[in-house]
Amino acid sequence: MLDTLKARIYQGKQYIKDIENAPMREQFRGFPKLQAGIDTSSCEGVCPTGALNLNPLSIDMGKCTFCGACERACEAIKLTNGYKLTSSDREKLIVTHDTKYEDYVNSAVEVKKEIVKMFGKSLKLRQVSAGGCNGCEMELNACSNVNFDMGRFGIDFVASPRHADGIVITGPITENMAYALEDCYKSVPEPKLVILCGACAISGGVFQECTKINREFLEKYPVDLYIPGCPVHPLTFINGVLSYIKNKK
Amino acid sequence: MAKWIKVKNNTKINLSDIPGMRIDELREQIIELGKRPIGFFGKDWGFGYVRLFVVLADDANCDLYISSAIFAPNDKSYESITQYVPSFHIFEREFYEQFGIEPLHHPWLKPVRQNQDKYPFFEMEGEEVHQVAVGPIHAGVIEPGHFRFMCNGETVYHLEIMLGYQHRGVEDMMMKNPSNQLAESINGDSAIAYSIAYSQAIETLKGFEISNKAQLIRKAALEMERMAIQIGDMGAIAGDIAYLMGAAVFGATRTLVINTMLEFSGSRFGRGLVTVGGVNYDFKEETIQKALETFDKVGKDVDRMAKTMLKNSTVMSRLEKTGTVSMEKARDIGLVGMAAKASGVELDTRFDFPDKWMSELGITRKPFKGSGDVNSRFKLRYKEVKESLSMIKKIFNKLKDYKDEPIIVDGVNNNYASDAMVVSLSEGWRGEIVHIVMTDINRKISRYKIKDPSFNNWYGLALAVRNNGVSDFPLCNKSFNLSYSGNDL
């Protein structure tokens, strides 16, 4: 008992106090900064997911795995440590040389009054892994650890869809999971949110060409939030969800 | 002609050197040789023929034995090997599912990755007997799989595990359009190990060697991945017995390791680090210094917490004698990696198939005395964390000798060797990851076979929970922490 208390005191407080302004290590590969007017021919064919478009230069963060192959190949592209990548609009995930990080953070998520009123103080989510590689799943688990402590904002993962206010999908949605995913969605009471987490969920990511996936679910039901990453960093996820359910300060 | 070709791991093998025989003869050969299967897979051989390749591991002598059998278009069945050597059970099921050639008298020929809804589960009857069905979507934030428990009151008589929900057809994709990014996404918790296995295979087929520096960086990254997951799993085991102090502390300690990985490679899981030809990011001196300081703290924190936890009698009463797999069973059903080690079967490709660095760095195997219960699997993780820490220190020290070497070498654009095969092994934190790649005469990849350690070990979990309380299942499951995506591919 005494040892346990000692260990507890030794550990102290570990949570990140100001999660919205939490610093990110500069090595992190996040928001792309693109420069027009530089020769990008060396980038031809380096992108494994087709996120990179060379003419005109743009990167689709919904497809991007943030592997850094393009930034190593040419100078026009730099993946910065900007980690607030979430958008409520699929089109906005496509970044061009005009897109400034600050503007993106301020405009990418459209805050709706009714959502803030409904979920602003408590949002319970059911996570469905539909072909996810366990990368995003591990990071979503990390959101609830002592460092990130997502629960303090009223955001939690729950066991039953009946207790949930929405679902978080990871993975490209395999054929074998398509039925279970839809079943789970239908079991969530209205009103409900759908959050796509990671490149695989948003676009298929590295599995776009895969023949064993079935993405019909996304054609049938509306999506509220797109959270890019491969895998999604906990800070990206928490800030992304917060920006959707809280009023801007 | 010889019945087997004996080769080393990561060497180019000419397909024409691989013996072929009748399946009956091959079965007798397998029984006679008595080695462990690490590859058993078919390949479309044209005109309706199917060639079955078998790769056996001789762990004591770090050799691989390879042979094959050919099935004519109307050969639709053969006498199964599993009847004689049980560890082939899952391999023969997979071969049947992929090629439709039936292993006769296989004790339990059920689906591996497909037709989950059509399979009639094993059932028991009796007044007190009831079923508990869980999944495919589980209560926590984890991957999908279906579990069906046959219970008598609280006691589990039998557990059937049905997987395949994660099936993405990865082998096919790796054949058509392989990349490190795809290899990392086969099983995201072992991204480094998968990327290394893939890169090694491609480098061998393209016939070039990477720099010493890149080899060491890969090795360090692999140990960091192992350390991070093992610490995280110690926390998860603590969480599953509601010892929240352990869950919190181990969770926070794991964060230190993966954030160090982020400083080295720009990703918490080391994605983008390993590439065909070497590594993409150099391990800089100042980052190494900082990492060493962090790892000192990690070592101390893990030590302190593990010791406190293991002294606690309520913790021990949950861990000890829960979910036991005996050494005999582990060997029979062919468990590998961590699950095998915890049952006292020493299998670790880092030592069984060592690279040159193991002797150069003076790293030797320290056997683990395990009794196969959750407690053993917890203590094994603790031991592996300490070992990885000391390995990383040695590797970082050695890196100084190769300061001026390039991290990436030319050769990426070489052609593949024609009509060749390579078996690439890498020891992920769960156990051996096997990538087998074949090329055809046009120098194109014609078959990509992957075996995750979970493929062998899922059945071990099913055996572990027998005669345990159904409420201990999460604990047993977490102590194995097997991969769904690695199994389902």
CA distances from B27 to A25, B70, B90 (A): 56, 13, 16
C-beta separation of B330 from B372 below 8 A: yes
Cα A206 from Cα B271, distance rounded (Å) = 13
DSSP string computed for B12-35: -EEGGGS-EE-HHHHHHHHHHH-P
| pLDDT tens-digit map of B74-85 | 889 999 999 999
Cα B66 from Cα A202, distance rounded (Å) = 42
C-beta separation of A68 from B262 below 8 A: no
Which segments of B320-373 does DSSP mark as H helices, in order?
327-333, 337-342, 349-352, 356-360
Residue type, B328: E
> What's the pLDDT at B57?
92
CB contact under 8 A, B173 and A68: no
B297, exposed or middle or buried, with CB in 10 Å at 0-12, 13-18, 19+? exposed
Q: Across residues B193-215, what is the average pLDDT?
A: 92
Count of CB pairs separated by less than 8 Å, A with B: 173
CATH 1.10.645.10 describes domain B170-488: yes
Mutate to test the interface with A, among B181, B264, B274 (most CBs of A within 10 A): B181
Cα A242 from Cα A238, distance rounded (Å) = 6
> What's the pLDDT at B125?
83
CA distances from B444 to A48, B383, B448 (A): 19, 43, 11
> What's the pLDDT at B90?
92
> What's the pLDDT at A129?
92
Give the residue among B377, B179, B167 at the shortest CA–CA distance from B276: B179
> What's the pLDDT at B410?
82
Max alpha carbon distance in chain A (Å)? 65
Q: Across residues B209-228, what is the average pLDDT?
A: 93
Find the CB nearest B182 among A79, A206, A231: A206
CB contact under 8 A, B168 and A174: yes
> What's the pLDDT at A164?
93
Residue type, A63: K
CB contact under 8 A, B248 and A230: no
> What's the pLDDT at B116?
74
Cα B95 from Cα B97, distance rounded (Å) = 5
Nearest CA in chain B to A159: B139
Nearest CA in chain B to A141: B141
Give the residue among A222, A207, A145 at the shortest CA–CA distance from A173: A207
Confidence grade of residue A170 (pLDDT, cut at 50, 70, 90): very high
> What's the pLDDT at B328?
92
| pLDDT tens-digit map of B127-139 | 888 888 887 898 8
Cα B249 from Cα B141, distance rounded (Å) = 20
B264, exposed or middle or buried, with CB in 10 Å at 0-12, 13-18, 19+? buried
Cα B325 from Cα B339, distance rounded (Å) = 9
> What's the pLDDT at A249?
63
Contacts of B131 (CB under 8 A, 6+ apart): B123, B148, B149, B150, B151
C-beta separation of B198 from B183 below 8 A: yes
Nearest CA in chain A to B163: A176
Q: Across residues B78-97, what is the average pLDDT?
A: 92
Residue B54 bridge partners (DSSP): B40, B67
Q: Residue B291: pLDDT above 90?
A: yes
Q: Residue B306: pLDDT above 80?
A: yes
- In this prediction, what percent of chain B has a pLDDT beyond 70? 100
C-beta separation of A31 from A80 below 8 A: yes
Confidence grade of residue B123 (pLDDT, cut at 50, 70, 90): confident
Q: Residue A1: pLDDT above 80?
A: no
Cα B346 from Cα A176, distance rounded (Å) = 36
Contacts of B356 (CB under 8 A, 6+ apart): none
CB contact under 8 A, A175 and B139: no
Sheet harboring A166-170: ordered strands across?
Answer: A155-157, A123-129, A166-170, A193-197, A225-227
Looking at the complex, report in whole angstroms how far the Cα of residue A91 sits from the nearest Cα belonging to chain B: 24
- Distance, CA of B148 to chain centre: 24
Tokens of A189: 């009471």
Cα A79 from Cα A26, distance rounded (Å) = 10
Using a CB-CB cut-off of 8 Å, the residues of chain B touching A65 are 181, 185, 271
Q: Across residues B369-392, what is the average pLDDT?
A: 93
Nearest CA in chain B to A1: B312
Residue type, A121: K
Cα A104 from Cα B414, distance rounded (Å) = 42
Locus of tokens 């509306």: A222
Mutate to test the interface with B, among A67, A136, A168 (most CBs of B within 10 A): A67
E strand spans, A31-86: 32-34, 52-54, 57-60, 77-79
What letters, b where the CB count within 10 A reaches 16 and e where it falls short, cover B215-252?
bbbbbbbbbbbbbbbbbbbbbbbbbbbebebbbbbbbb
For chain A, domain boundaries: 113-245
Cα A111 from Cα A102, distance rounded (Å) = 17
Q: Across residues B284-292, what is the average pLDDT?
A: 92
**Window A:54-93, CB contacts with B under 8 Å:** 65-69, 72, 79
Q: Residue B207: pLDDT above 80?
A: yes
CB contact under 8 A, A3 and B311: yes
CB contact under 8 A, B263 and A25: yes
> What's the pLDDT at A84?
92
Give the residue among B27, B35, B20 at the shortest CA–CA distance from B65: B35
Touching check for A206 and chain B: CB below 8 Å? yes
CATH of domain A113-245: 3.40.50.12280
Tokens of A210: 């895969």
Using a CB-CB cut-off of 8 Å, the residues of chain A touching B266 are 27-29, 68, 79
Q: Residue A234: pLDDT above 70?
A: yes
Strands A123-129 and A155-157: parallel
Give the residue among A78, A180, A97 at the shortest CA–CA distance from B135: A180
Cα B49 from Cα B26, distance rounded (Å) = 17
Tokens of B476: 């047993």
Residue type, B342: A
Sheet harboring B420-427: ordered strands across?
Answer: B13-14, B420-427, B432-439, B445-451
For chain B, domain boundaries: 5-104, 170-488
Confidence grade of residue A36 (pLDDT, cut at 50, 70, 90): confident
Locus of tokens 């490209």: A172
CATH class given for the domain over B5-104? alpha beta
| pLDDT tens-digit map of B240-280 | 998 988 999 999 999 999 999 999 999 999 999 999 999 99
> What's the pLDDT at B413?
79
| pLDDT tens-digit map of A203-221 | 999 999 888 899 999 999 9
Looking at the complex, report in whole angstroms how far the Cα of residue A146 sits from the nearest Cα belonging to chain B: 6
CA atoms within 13 A on the CB side of B70: 11
Using a CB-CB cut-off of 8 Å, the residues of chain A touching B167 are 174-176, 212
Touching check for A236 and chain B: CB below 8 Å? no
Q: Give me chain B's average pLDDT, please.
A: 91
C-beta separation of A157 from A127 below 8 A: yes
| pLDDT tens-digit map of B317-353 | 999 899 899 999 999 999 999 999 999 999 999 999 9
> What's the pLDDT at B1?
61
Q: Give me chain A's average pLDDT, please.
A: 90
> What's the pLDDT at A38?
82
- Coil, strand or helix at A152: helix
| pLDDT tens-digit map of A186-204 | 999 989 999 999 999 999 9
> What's the pLDDT at B432?
93
Phi-psi region of B360 (alpha: psi -120 to 50; beta: other; left: phi over 0): alpha
- Distance, CA of B423 to chain centre: 14
Which segments of A19-123 does DSSP mark as H helices, in order?
69-73, 101-107, 113-119
Nearest CA in chain B to A230: B271
Tokens of B401: 């000798």
Q: Residue B390: pLDDT above 90?
A: yes
C-beta separation of B9 from B353 below 8 A: yes
Q: Across residues A95-113, what is the average pLDDT?
A: 88
